Structure 1
Amino acid sequence: MQYATFAGGCFWCMVTPFEELPGIHSIVSGYMGGHLKDPTYEQVKAGETGHAEVVQIAFDPQLFPYERLLELYWPQIDPTDAGGQFQDRGSQYRTVIFYHNEEQHALALASKQELESSGRFDKSIATEIRAADTFYMAEEYHQNFHKKNPKHYKEDREQSGRDEFIEQKWK
């Protein structure tokens, strides 16, 4: 079992692309990359901690290789936006690939370079690639939010502009 940790704006929207795939054992919403121990959602949301909202994926690399996770990650985000994602603004909503070992580091760098070279975007790729540090699980009500609160999730996602961007830039 290995872990992959991705920041892509609001963590609610980063769960569904990875769900119910063979070799994916769990997807947990949380926080990573900041300076405060045991941050709360309110602290992270206020931009007080330096953390990004993330999803941490436990996966079996024999069944679902890390490269495939990267292929799913990029089309969920605007990788050129360093100031947040869609309607969610601030560093807590930045995009980051947090790698857990040197193989992941090399694969993440290569995938970022490939995207940069593709010409898909007019601006530079702003997504950070950083070593994973302490993962803090988000509060229980954030876990599988889209299933617990489908109406709120759908409304938030529709207002965000994420789906329109994905359709325009990735389809």
Structure 2
Amino acid sequence: MTKTIETAIFAGGCFWCMVEPFDSLPGIEKVRSGYTGGHTVNPTYEEVSSHTTGHTEAVKIWFDPEKLTYDELVTIYWEQTDPTDAMGQFQDRGDNYRPVIFVANQAQREIAEQSKASLQASARFEQPIVTTIEDAKPFYDAEEYHQDFYKKEPTREALEMEQRLAFKQKNWQKK
């Protein structure tokens, strides 16, 4: 029997910081950094950083839904981002760093929308939840030097993750 592999695409600031939280989970087959949501075909990092392509830095995750559900992935996603900041995440500012859940189908949309509504209703955050939920568009792999950055540059990655960790500890402790 062939196992089914599904994909999820999440944007939450710099894609370097979005790989590690998913990469080693049971059921994850692969995580790639890339660009999505824009109008330029096969954009480069420099083009995306120029804010002229409409693309957002994101991660694409291939997962086995028998071991890890899409709902579980969305929950992990929320804990990696500031869902109240529409124009970037932590030190990463601009439209190419906006928080987005890109959905591949109606089932993913329903899960993402329900999860967002539950998060808003929880009153965990004083500000409204502004993360958008959008239909998935073509995903373009980032240049190879961006892939698995946390493994290649652990010291630099640790600096990038400090603000996220502090935010997570402040906002995701049991309430």
TM range (shorter): over 0.9
CA distance in 2: counterparts of 1:156 and 1:64, whole angstroms: 27
Gaps of 5+ in 1: none
Query: What's the secondary structure of 1:15's corresponding residue?
Result: helix
Quote the offset at 1:22 in angstroms.
Answer: 1.6
TM-score normalized by the length of structure 1: 0.96
Partner of 1:95: 99
| Stretches (4+) displaced over 6 A | none
Q: Deviation digits for residues 93-131 of structure 1, max 9, x if unmatched?
A: 000000011100100000000001000111111100000
Q: 1:39 aligns with which of 38, 43, 46?
A: 43
Query: What's the secondary structure of 1:114's corresponding residue?
Result: helix
Q: 1:113 aligns with which of 76, 98, 117?
A: 117
Q: 1:157 aligns with which of 132, 137, 161?
A: 161
Gaps of 5+ in 2: none
Quote the offset at 1:64 in angstroms.
Answer: 0.8
CA distance in 1: counterparts of 2:10 and 2:73, whole angstroms: 10
CA distance in 2: counterparts of 1:129 and 1:92, whole angstroms: 15
CA distance in 1: counterparts of 2:63 and 2:164, whole angstroms: 25
Quote the offset at 1:48 in angstroms.
Answer: 1.7
CA distance in 2: counterparts of 1:156 and 1:24, whole angstroms: 23
Q: Deviation digits for residues 27-67 of structure 1, max 9, x if unmatched?
A: 00000001111110111122121111000000111111101
Q: 1:145 aligns with which of 134, 143, 149?
A: 149
Contact persistence 2:38–2:53 (CA under 8 A): yes
CA distance in 1: counterparts of 2:47 and 2:172, whole angstroms: 33
CA distance in 1: counterparts of 2:14 and 2:20, whole angstroms: 12
Q: How high is the sequence identity, in percent, across the aligned residues?
A: 52
Q: 2:54 aligns with which of 50, 56, 59?
A: 50
Residues 1:166 and 2:129 aligned together = no
CA distance in 2: counterparts of 1:94 and 1:22, whole angstroms: 27
Query: What's the secondary structure of 1:72's corresponding residue?
Result: helix
Aligned ranges for residues 44-83 of structure 1 at < 5 Å? 44-83=48-87
TM-score normalized by the length of structure 2: 0.94
Partner of 2:22: 18
CA distance in 2: counterparts of 1:58 and 1:156, whole angstroms: 24
Query: What's the secondary structure of 1:54's corresponding residue?
Result: strand
CA distance in 2: counterparts of 1:90 and 1:155, whole angstroms: 20
